[in-house]
Amino acid sequence: MESRRIGSLEVSAVGLGCNNFGTRLAYFATAAVVETALEAGITFFDTADIYGAGRSEEFLGSILAPHRARVVIATKFGMDMGAGRKGAKPAYVRRAVEDSLRRLRTDRIDLYQLHRPDPETPLAETLGALDELVTSGKVREIGCSYFTADQLRDAQAAAGRGAKFASVQNEFSLLNREPERGVLDECGRQGLAFLPYYPLASGVLSGKYRAGAPAPRATRLASNADWARRFLTDRNLAVAGALGAFAAARGHTLLELAVSWLLARPVVASVIAGASSPEQVTANAAAGSWRMAPDELAEADSLTEGTT
């Protein structure tokens, strides 16, 4: 597995998104996925306090305890955890990190990410609290999610001499190329690592969905009508079909195209792909091996014209 960097952290080029843990997957199913990820060379595990209402962190803390020295754990804070636990005010940042440290059974969080901007809190105050956590050793690097290019510039200025964001995590895939409208360039300017989530467009780029056919049973899009309306559009399925044919003509799968296309961008540090089975995580881990030539990248880009 290729390694890349998020600030001082060395991470596997394909990471494991842990939003299924504690919701779709119970403990032993989670353990099977995580152990398979470790065997496949994945060292980067991305979770959040809100996933499974804390259970994702709890599961990871238990399963990864014997492997803590060789893994990089990223988690997030700021979403509504109930009982007033949300946002990015300094007092809550200090509380949230202690809660996550306890659930993760660790003395440090490798990458601690603001899950989304908090319009009620000046960013300088949040960054000041995060700087305290870095200085104390409870956090190694800090990051953000759902930030625009303008917000990244504001964050750089607001940090002053304190800890600065090392990464930004936004949605990015062959079917959603919004980060190309400024965020990726800003990452390059600041030296930020970019972490794409939903790299497979909730499975549409895995090859399991077909135009004119119902979603396979037991998949997320088969059981969630809102997600199905968002991702299983005629446009997405048509583009995915064209991309799948493009990949097959070159001896690759649509999954390999989706991951390798992202990794062709130097600012992408790790492709965060979720998995609900050991078989999925094995396939995801192997999917970034296609070193796409410039003409292949250009042709893949042309097939996605009009995606946003």
Active site residues: 51
Q: Rounded CA gap, 106 and 214, in Å? A: 43
- What are the two backbone dihedrals, phi and then psi, of residue 70, each rounded to the nearest 5 degrees? -115, 10
- What are the two backbone dihedrals, phi and then psi, of residue 102, each rounded to the nearest 5 degrees? -65, -45
Tokens representing 243 are: 């991309």
Burial 237-251, CB ≥16 within 10 A → b, else e = bebbbebbebbeeee
Closest CA to 300 of 255, 244, 251: 244
At 65, the amino acid letter reads A
Q: Rounded CA gap, 155 and 158, in Å? A: 5
Q: Rounded CA gap, 156 and 161, in Å? A: 10
